[in-house]
Each structure stands twice: as structure tokens, then as C-alpha cells.
Amino acid sequence: ASGAGVSMLDSLAAWFFETGGAPARLADDCGELPCGGGGGGSCPHLPQDPLSRACVGRLAELCHGLRGRGDACDACLESHVHDLEAHGCPSRGRPLLRWYCGGGGAGGHHVCDVRIGTNDVALLPPPSEALPRIPTVTIAPGVEMPLINLGGVHSHPSNYSAWLQLGGRGLDTAMMYGDDVQVQVGDAVAASGLPREELFLTSKVPCCPAESFTSWCVWYDKEYKDLDAYTRSEIDARLLGVARVDLLLLHWPCATMEETVATYRSLERFALDGKASAIGISNFNASAIDALFAAGLTVPPAVNQVGFSIGGHSESRLGRDLDTLRKCREKGIAFSAYSPLGGLSGVDVLHHPRVLKVAAAHNRSAAQVALRWVTQQGVVAVSASSNPAHLASDLGSFSFNLTGAEMKALAEI
């Protein structure tokens, strides 16, 4: 029925796939639409072979939630093209695939679905479900940050365009992720057609600790070490193709606190010049935060972004612990989590029995539970994926709440 949480096509396709049967006529629901109401003669190009049943079922299973979503849906089909061919979808060019993704149709409608065993065809309208509403957190006066943002690095870039098309509005990047990533993010912003004020763009300028624990620092020493942080920030904004970033973070504490404070002063000046709506820090633990504040700040940090997840909230060196979370709340700093699915925790969060039990109780995925555990604490999550289906799932993670007992049980992993 129209208005249900799951689209009509996805409901039908799941029914096809599970039972192999043909649903009853939908004349009452679709009779007024261009190729509904029996007859079915208005859709001559729709494939009518029995393989359509398995094809539609597999489409809904692999690309659920992406119907009619254009490029994001196309990317999902592309990533599963061989699987789809094995289930009776002969090519992405056939109308069933093209229309599934919103590539055209009479009167602006997108998808015709065959009722196997009859000549009836019901035209299904474009997706009626609204894009997900993403909660925000106030990080500075007049500055609202989405509770979930999409990141990505040089070795594993994300699908930024699909994220924006699916309703995501927060993008997270950094100078150290590579010039190519910065340009990709900027291109996605420009191509989206969305008003700049609807988007939230976070970036980071480098400063490396005494011990170069990452190859990024080796690259930074060769490319940017002799440039002051203000100039690095300007280069970063130019790579992104924007006049202003919404949030600019100091990526790490520097080798000394004196250097850290001096670098942060450059970020303060960048904000006061109107080139960043807010500034902040990343990978600062509680003691580093105290030391920074002790220097006296003109613009306090709005955000501290650290690794934080189920199974990954007890390492203090880079602020990945509950003491740092408490310190941020004490200082009025929003807490943000990269690697929220537990990739840095040493725990297989997505296959942990306790996580899977909670996921089953809510009919959600383990990844959605892991994200919700983070965001339900008011912590901003930074996820990453190139798979549109995973992006849609991440954006859908606000559709349920964990109980207090579940939050506690997951915190104990």
C-alpha cells in the first residue's frame, strides 16, 4: 500500500523472490496510473519474461532503499552487475534496471513491474519516502553539525555524490587524506546542486606529533612543513573549491605544546577572518585539552574528533576514552567519532554476539546498531563507504533507539 515504510516495488519484489508466485491485481491501487488497471498495453518495452521475477527480487535485495535515486542506485547496480546477470537481469540497459533507478518512464513515473503469469502491468510511482532527516548538534553559535558525516581517505575514498543524493549533508575530509580526495569532495559538493548552506564541510590541517606514527606525517614533512597553518588552511579550502569550511580541525597535537598552541592560533585567525564557521581539534586527550585551554584561547575548539566505538573507548593516548569524552563535555566541546564501527578497537564489532543480538531485536544491521550506540550519546559519527546501500543504511540508523540496558551492555564490550 502506498505510504508504507517500504516502497511498493520493494514489497512486491521481496514477495516475488521469496515465494516465486504472482501477486493479486493492484488495479485498485494503480488503475489510475498510465499502465495500471489491467490491460498493461502502455508499457510495451517492459521485459515480460519470467526471469523478471528473480531480477526484481534481487534488485530489491541488493539495492534496497535506493529505488529512484539516480546515480546512487546506478552505482549499486554497477557494483552488483554480475550477480544481477545471474538472476535474470541481462544488462543494465534493460528498462527494468533503468526504470528501477529512475531513468525515465511515461508521465514522470519510474518503475513498471510485471505480474508473472498475466499480461497485467502495474506502474509504480517514484519513491514517496522522504529523504532521511539527519539530527544535528550545535557546535558553536549558529553552527549546526549533522550527527553523521561521510569521510574517506586516499586509499579508501567514499562515494560522496551518492551520500549527498541519499540525504547525507555532512562531509569529512583532511589535507592529509590527499589532494585527490579533497578535489573529489569539492567536486561532489559542486555537482550536487545543493545550496552551500545545506551542506556541512569538515576538514583538517596537519600537525604531527613527535613520533611519526603514520606515513601521512612523512608525506606532510616533505610537502607542507615549511608552510604556516594559515597558508595550509587556505590551500585546503582551494582544493575543496570553497570560500569557507564549516569546521576546520587541527588534525593532531604537534610535537610540542608550544607548537600546538601556535598552530591553533593560526586556526583562530582563519575563523576570525570568516574562512571557517568553527574550528576544533582532533586526537586530543583530556590532558592535551587542559594544556591547550591553559594557554588562553580566543576561539575555543568546537569539536574534538577521535576514534570512538563499541569496544573502542579505553585508549587515552589519542583521546579514545571516556575521560576525554567527559572532559569535552566539561569544556563545552562536541565529541566526534571516527571509526565508529570499531575498526580501530581490536574487536570484531559487526560480528560480536551481543551486537548481533541487539540488531536482531530491532530488525536492524550490526552496523546500524554500532552507529546508533555512538550517536545516541550525542556523539557525532564519521563513517565511510563507497557502497550506496551501506550509505543508505548509515543514514537510516536514526530510525530506532536503543534501550538503556542495551546501551549499557554494548558499552561493556
Residues with catalytic roles? 177
User: Cβ(287)–Cβ(294) under 8 Å?
Assistant: no
CA distance 160 to 185: 6
Q: How many CB atoms lie within 10 A of CB 23?
A: 16
Amino acid letter, 258:
E
CB burial string 243-259: b at 16+ within 10 A, e below: ebbbbbbbbbbbeeeee
CA distance 106 to 326: 57
Taking the mean position of all CA atoms in its chain, how far away is CA 384?
A: 6
DSSP tag of 44: T
User: Cβ(73)–Cβ(66) under 8 Å?
Assistant: yes
Q: Which three cell numbers stand for residue 297?
A: 584561547
Strand partners, 149: 382
DSSP 237-269: HHHHT-S-EEEEEE-S--SSHHHHHHHHHHHHH
Tell me the C-alpha to C-alpha distance, in Å, between residue 368 and each of 154, 241, 383, 399.
25, 32, 11, 10
Strand partners, 304: 281, 335
> Which secondary structure element, helix H or strand E, spans residue 280, and what is its range?
strand 276-282
